[in-house]
Amino acid sequence: MPEKKVVEALVSGGQATAGPPLGPALGPLGVNVLMIVNKINELTSSYAGMKVPVKITVDPETKEFDVTVGIPTTGALIVKETGIQKGSGTPHTAKVGNLSMEQVVKIAKIKQPTLLAKTLKAAVKEIVGTCRSMGVTVDQKDAKDVMKEIDEGVYDNILEK
C-alpha cells in the first residue's frame, strides 16, 4: 500500500487556483485538482487577501484527500487589521498604521497556538514586537513604549479577559 502524499503550499485566502503551486504538485497524484482547490477556497475564505499555509494530504490509491489550513503570518494579520498595503521600509522613522490594544489582543489570540509564548501577555508582546518592526503604532504610541506599559501592568485589565 503506497503511503499518503503531502503537498504544502502558501495560497491567497479564498483565491487558490488549479495553476501553480497547487496544480503541478497535485496533478501527478491523479486527484481531482478542482475539487481540492474549491475545498481550500471554502476553508480559507475568512483569510481573504492574506497568504495562508495549506497542507493537502492525498491517498494516491483511493484519491481521498484532506486539507489542513494553517494560520496566516503575524505580519499578514497586522496588515489586514490596519488596512495598510505593507509594512514600513523604515519602521523606526516612518509609521504606516495604527492598531488598538484590542486589535493586538485579537491577533495574539488567533496566533497563540503557533507562538512560543506561554501566556496571553507574552503573546501580545510578540505581536507588539512585530508591529514595531513593521512601523505600526499601538494606541497611537510607539511599540517600544507600549512594551514598557505592558511590563508595568497598564493593560492587565484587557489581558485578563
Domains of the chain: 5-69 (3.30.1550.10), 74-159 (1.10.10.250)
Question: d(Cα 16, Cα 11) in Å, to the nearest integer?
Answer: 6
Q: In the structure, what pLDDT confidence band is assigned to residue 161 with cuts at 50, 70 and 90? A: low
Phi, psi of 131 (to 5 degrees): -55, -45
- Judge whether residue 48 has pLDDT over 90: no
Question: d(Cα 61, Cα 92) in Å, to the nearest integer?
Answer: 54
Average pLDDT over residues 77-97: 88
Question: What does pTM read for this prediction?
Answer: 0.76
Residues of the chain above pLDDT 90, percent: 52
